[in-house]
Structure 1
């Protein structure tokens, strides 16, 4: 025999009630012997409470009652419910007259919800020729007089239950009310929170039934609430102990008192979804699972009470006075935390008890408060308790660090004596982010990186398209979801918390102008509780880098192809590093030098390993490499190749930004600072490649007169010795163990057969000289220009940050 229990949402009008009748009829027609326990249908319990409040407030409840009746007789409008609604009307009139009601009256009113449910289900089954009988559990479940949360007399109730069920014919299916019972004088009582599940567990225990199928509106018990964590997984099987732990820490479909009768008699509980027939659900039994289960639960509607004062230090009995006083007024205490100095005590209580608890505590400690031995008895509201069930504190350190990286402020932390459950008290506004962060760490689930990209030009646009094309592969290979939630141009921002689509350019164009990109991006991420935040700066803006610190402080890691932040004044450079260290954030900028080549990472690794780097030189600019490689090997004038470089997108819109040498100088300075040198930009000796006559004027004017550059470069080329070529190089030399090195950016003649002389196309080359490598430098050569190459380098930095998480 099985006991089937159906929750309120399963019994709601429409698909719910239809599925319930289908499930029951299939089982009965298959000759399964079942007993059925029902909750009130839909939101009936809440609606009955609302009717009581309307009557108490002397409001007109009649229309609401009529609407409630209409809902309760659907889908069988011929169902006779006069008895239940006549009683409701009389009770509500009495409440309206007295403008008050007792818990006893409330229990009687709420009981009508379950009575209406069993009437409806029985009638629908009888209409399809299935024999069933309405059973009022008040006839055999006997309790004390604690209305609203009555305690069941187990001995009497078992005896009466067995006797009653024996009176029902074997071919008739009992349809029993859950939640309701009666006291010794047959007055209606209710069993409190999770009452229908408790009724089902008790009845199964009393009748020796070994299996319960509990039908609800969810697929089972998850590793976390799927409404908070989109990739939460179903836990297919747990044992009683694990179920008790989950129930104790707020899992909504379990309650400790419902588990106890199962444990006593070895009854299995199978949680199934009324609306998803194919789902396997969660099975709870006495079978030990292979490994400790883990789940994350969230408790809402709680407050944190803090009692703080020097008078607490060393004084015995403080804790006893706190907890005994709260116990006397029926306040349940959750997490407790006390400092080693005993200067303060903090604990969690239900939010509904806040005013009563505070009043009692202020009265109890009035003398200590008067003497200022206790400074405060205060409360913190808008908090939640996140509990990780099955997690040992010893393995939780990395998770705590990860929460800190994501700017989650933990108000209080507590773990059980067994050490296998950890509870965190955090601000309610941070719950969604916190649970997602913890879930991804503990379960190795899909990790989501939420990315804001500033700059949609050649590099930015290429990167966005690369991310969109590759996100499926990255998800498959690395279990990592790359979610671009913001794209910012110069004036407009496109937001989508679920990720932008392929038509992002059109969508961005349709947006209104946004003045403050920094504040808008940070505010959006905070509003939508986004975790694992990364800001990617693909601009060349000198102003935007000033916001980097603000992004870091608000939980963003940084990736940048923009060189400005690393070439500002040295004190600004150091301030940025200090902020990164303080907030435990990452800043990667491999594309600042060499586009997609691993220059910065190589130099950093050598330096940090203690290798003494003595010199770095090379062709740092892909665009200038293309210019001089082509010009040196051809009879065409310099302007011919300059125009081609512009067409190919190798240069900035105004090519003078490349030709002035500042770009190469910035790259050289970045490498110097990777060696902990304190050089400033003004320390660099830069040879400007623009003839003085062409340095002034706007871009358009320069491009019109571009051939004017040819005379200058023809003269330089004519002076070249045979087998020599022109190269524009950066050179870091001197004693690099001192505070500053010698930095030069200059046009030089190089032998064709040298490493720098053999360079072709737009490749860059870097020669790194060290004490260990002597005169044989480490040489890195490859593509040093192009939007696609640079974007791919930025993409690589993004994945490296993901690997650090």
Structure 2
């Protein structure tokens, strides 16, 4: 025989009930011997409890009661629930008059949900040609007098079950009420949380069932709650021990007491979906065929109690007193973590019992409070427990580190005695994000990286296109899933919830909304996004004010914007302290050399203790092109500049390139990488624009470009033979001190020198060190261009994504 159990959602009006009848009919037609156990239909138990509460508070409950009755009839003809509804009316009238009710009365009220469900299904099966028999479990399961959470009396219950089924076996399908039972006085009791599953489990045990099939509204047990974690996947096979751990830590389909009767007889349990007959569900047996981490299970609405007593050092029996005091109040403790030498202990209880637990401990340790041996009993009311079933402590550092990286610090954790389950206590507000982070770290093939991009001009727009084009290949090759969850300009933000395509620019225009940085942070929090990276491709000083709030809210940073690294040194240091405090990273390789690995090289040399004595080079791809071309041709300076403008090499206002400030900022960034504390106003900059042209409109400047020719023709003529002009940045001096000398200047160098041989718009950097002597480390390559810079930003993004 198989025991087949249907949950409340399977029995709801509509498709549910019809599917249940179909499933049972098919089993009978296949000659399977079955007994059916039912929960109350739909949300009936909660409805009855709400109606009962209203009656006890003298509130009008009649409207809700009538709706409940109407739902139970469900539009089916010929149903007779008169006896049940008369009983319900009398009980509620009494509660309304007394303004109170006992657990005994509550059990009588709640039992009616299962009775009505079983009577209804019995009639539907009979009308469908199935020989079905309504079976009231109050005549089978005998319990103690613990109303609301009664415990079965095994011997009597087993005898009743065997006698009943021996009388009514054969082709009869027994439709048994779950959840309810009766004590020795034949008073109605209930079996507590998950009671219907417990009834099915007990029947399976007593009847030595071949299998217990538990039909629900999901396809089985998942690696996490699929309503919370999108990537959760079904588990094909679990052991009873693993299922028991899941049941202990909140998996709603299971309950610990359901497992025990099955384990005693080694009866398989299969979790199936009423609404999907193509799915094989999750099978639970004595042994699992798969080892390793199985699932994340959650206990919500918990409270963390912290008990501190510095004066208890060395005193024996403190723990025993704590748990005895709680046991006397029937308060269950789920997670325990203890400080050294009993000076502090933290434990988790049901949030509804937290104040009661605190009061019990205050009473127990009243004397110690008076002597200050116990200093504090505090409650953190809003916490949840996440249990990683199958987690070995040897690899626990991976999910733990992922949590910390995502700004989630567990309040406490412990592991099972077997060493293969770990439980974490987190703030309730962090629960969903924590589940995403842990699940992604453990189960998902691709690591999810959620990106917010600020600025979508030449560099930003090119980067977005590069990510769209490369994302699927990166996921395939590297196991990294790049998702752009926000694109913003100075006015609008777009949250592309269905992904991006080549029309993203039009989408921003049509669907973008005004925003502040707080809105983007809120969006990420509300959607529980993990592994956050913010990319700044603006050239805005005002946007750098958002860096610290982003870091504090869990974002790593990537930036092609140079400004943050050239602001006053106090801010520069503050930014690094915030990064360190929140264990975040800030990458900005493109700040100086576009796509060249310059900053990373300097960082590694400096970190290794190498004494860098000088850095100089051509820092600007735009000015590299300008002076390379001017030095090698007979063309006037103004014509070379105009050609550079036409090729898009310069800023819209070329004076932003020619003034030298950009090179000055790059030079200062390198100085600060060497821990120098120079400020921007200490950089000596040779401005290439004659004073007469520094002010005024861009149009006026362009119309008067020819005024540059006389100046630069003379400079070019005054050079030594075989020399060329280069606009360089030069960091020199005793760089082991707090400050260096920073110069941006136009120089003439031999044509066959390292700087003299640079071509096109390349940048080149010479790094002089004590170890290398007069032979510098040379880094040379494309120093400008949206594609090159975007690719450098992309590289920083992938470096961050690869970490952890």
The normalised TM-score by structure 2 is 0.94
Deviations 1:758-796 (A, max 9, x none): 433322222334455555544333221122221121111
How many equivalent residue pairs?
Answer: 804
The answer for the alignment partner of 1:448 in structure 2 is 448
- How much does 1:245 deviate? 1.5
The CA deviation at 1:164 is 0.8
> Relative to structure 1, is the Cα distance of residues 356 and 576 closer, same or farther in structure 2, using a 3 angstrom cutoff?
closer
SS in 2 for 1:299: strand
Give distance in 1, aligned partners of 2:445 and 2:193. Answer: 33
State the partner residue of 1:168. 168
Q: What secondary structure sits across from 2:411 in the alignment? A: strand
Q: Aligned-pair distance for 1:595? A: 0.9
Residues in 1 aligned to 2:413 and 2:600: alpha-carbon distance in whole angstroms: 38
User: Cα distance 1:707–1:341, how it changes in 2: closer, same or farther (>3 A)?
Assistant: farther
Q: Give the Cα–Cα distance (whole angstroms) in 1 for the partners of residues 501 and 585 of structure 2.
A: 27
Q: Judge conservation of contact 1:299–1:385 (CA < 8 Å) in 2.
A: yes
**Is 1:563 matched with 2:552?**
no
- Name the CA shift for 1:650/1:438 in 2 (closer, same or farther; >3 Å): same
Separation in structure 2 between the aligned mates of residue 395 and residue 452 of structure 1, nearest angstrom:
31
Which region of structure 1 is more displaced relative to structure 2, 273-282 or 552-561?
A: 273-282
Contact 1:7 / 1:38 at 8 angstroms: preserved in 2? yes
Q: Please show how residues 293-312 of structure 1 align to structure 2 within 5 Å.
A: 293-312=293-312
Superposition map of 1:282-681 within 5 A? 282-443=282-443, 445-495=445-495, 503-509=503-509, 517-681=516-680
SS in 1 for 2:241: helix
Change (3 A) 1:259 1:169: closer
Aligned to 1:279: 279
Partner residue of 2:83? 83
CA contact (8 A) 2:111 2:190 kept: yes
C-alpha offsets along residues 125-180 of structure 1, whole Å, 9 cap, x if unaligned? 22232222222222211111111111111111112111111222412222221111
CA contact (8 A) 2:308 2:376 kept: yes
Offset, 1:512:
8.7
Distance in 2 between residues matched to 1:378 and 1:603, nearest whole Å:
50
Matched, 1:792 2:791: yes
**Equivalent in the alignment of 1:153:** 153
- How far apart are the structure 2 equivalents of 1:640 and 1:493? 40
SS of 2:42's equivalent?
Answer: coil
What are the superposed Cα offsets for residues 581-602 of structure 1, whole Å, 9 maximum, x if unpaired? 2322111101011111212122
How far does residue 47 in structure 1 lie from its aligned partner after superposition?
0.9
Q: Report Cα offsets for 1:663-716 as digits up to 9, x if no partner.
A: 112222222332334443344332221122211223343233333323322333
By how many angstroms is 1:92 displaced? Answer: 1.9
CA distance, structure 1, for counterparts of residue 211 and residue 713 of structure 2: 94
The separation in 2 between residues aligned to 1:690 and 1:472, in whole angstroms, is: 47
Q: Which residue of 1 aligns with 2:236?
A: 236
- Is the contact made by 2:389 and 2:422 (CA closer than 8 Å) also made in structure 1? yes
Kept in 2: contact 1:486–1:500 (CA 8 A): no
Report SS of the residue matched to 1:86: helix
How far did residue 197 of structure 1 move? 0.9
Deviation (angstroms), 1:29: 1.7
Q: CA deviation at 1:192?
A: 0.7
Instruction: Give the Cα–Cα distance (whole angstroms) in 2 for the partners of residues 276 and 705 of structure 1.
Output: 77
1:192 and 1:501, CA in 2 relative to 1: closer, same or farther beyond 3 A?
farther
Deviations 1:415-465 (A, max 9, x none): 333333222222111111122222222335433222222223222222233
Higher mean Cα deviation, 483-492 or 234-243?
Answer: 483-492
Structure 1 stretch 645-654 or stretch 154-163: which is displaced more?
A: 645-654
1:71 to partner: Cα distance: 1.5
8 Å CA contact 2:436–2:528 kept in 1: the answer is no
Q: Is the 8 A contact 1:485 1:500 kept in 2?
A: no
Q: Which residue of 1 aligns with 2:5?
A: 5
Shift of 1:503: 4.9
CA contact (8 A) 2:494 2:512 kept: no
The superposition leaves residues 638-677 of structure 1 with CA deviations (integer Å, 9 ceiling, x where unpaired) of 3333233334332222211111112112222222332334
For 1:166 and 1:181, the matched residues in 2 are separated by 20
Q: 1:725 corresponds to which residue? A: 724
Separation in 1, partners of 2:217, 2:341 = 48
Distance 1:90 1:620 in 2: 89
Whole-Å separation in 1 of the counterparts to 2:277 and 2:360:
51
Note if contact 2:451-2:534 (Cα within 8 Å) is conserved in structure 1. yes
Deviations 1:299-340 (A, max 9, x none): 112212233344434444433332222212211122223321
Root mean square deviation of aligned Cα: 2.6
Deviation at 1:41, TM superposition (A): 1.0
Distance (whole Å) between structure 1 residues aligned to residue 504 and residue 540 of structure 2: 22
Q: Name structure 2 gaps, 5 residues minimum.
A: none
Task: Measure, in 1, the Cα distance between the counterparts of 2:281 and 2:50.
Answer: 33
Hey, what's the Cα distance between the residues in 2 that align with 1:403 and 1:136? 50
| More deviation, 251-260/523-532 | 523-532
Aligned mates of 1:399, 1:790 — CA distance in 2: 34
Q: Aligned residue for 2:184?
A: 184
1:69 aligned to 2:69?
yes
Q: CA deviation at 1:735?
A: 4.5
Post-superposition shift, 1:506? 4.4
Alpha-carbon contact 2:238-2:285 (below 8 Å) kept: yes
Contact map agreement 1:493 1:514 (CA 8 A) in 2: yes
The Cα of 1:752 is off from its aligned counterpart by 4.2
CA 450–163 in structure 1, closer or farther in 2 if over 3 Å, else same? same
**Secondary structure of 2:284's match?**
strand
**Distance (whole Å) between structure 1 residues aligned to residue 778 and residue 508 of structure 2:** 42
Equivalent residue, structure 1, for 2:687 = 688
Secondary structure of residue in 1 paired with 2:342: coil
Within 2, Cα distance between the matches of 1:321 and 1:126? 58
Separation in structure 1 between the aligned mates of residue 246 and residue 693 of structure 2, nearest angstrom: 75
Q: TM-score, normalised by structure 1?
A: 0.94
Q: 2:101 is matched with which residue?
A: 101
Contact 2:237 2:288 in 1 (8 A): no
Q: Which range moved further: 499-508 or 480-489?
A: 499-508
> For the structure 1 residues 528 and 325, does the alpha-carbon distance in structure 2 shift closer, same or farther, using more than 3 Å as the test?
same
Partner of 1:745: 744
The answer on whether the counterparts of 1:497 and 1:528 sit within 8 Å (CA) in structure 2 is: no
Which stretch of the first structure deviates more once superposed, 697-706 or 421-430? Answer: 697-706
Counterpart of 2:781? 782
Q: CA deviation at 1:262?
A: 0.9
Tell whether the 8 Å contact from 1:134 to 1:176 is kept in structure 2 after alignment.
yes
Q: Cα offset for 1:397?
A: 2.9
CA displacement at 1:181 relative to structure 2:
1.2
SS in 2 for 1:146: coil
- Give a deviation string over 1:381-437, Cα, whole Å, max 9, x none: 111112222223343234333322322233222233333322222211111112222
Deviation of 1:196 (Å) = 1.0
User: Given that residues 590 and 601 in structure 1 are in contact (C-alpha distance below 8 angstroms), is that contact kept between their aligned partners in structure 2?
Assistant: yes
Which residues of structure 1 form unaligned runs of 5+?
none
Matched-pair contact (CA < 8 Å) for 1:312–1:343 = yes
In 1, Cα distance between equivalents of 2:393 and 2:477: 30
Q: Secondary structure at 1:706's aligned position in 2?
A: coil
Change (3 A) 1:60 1:574: closer
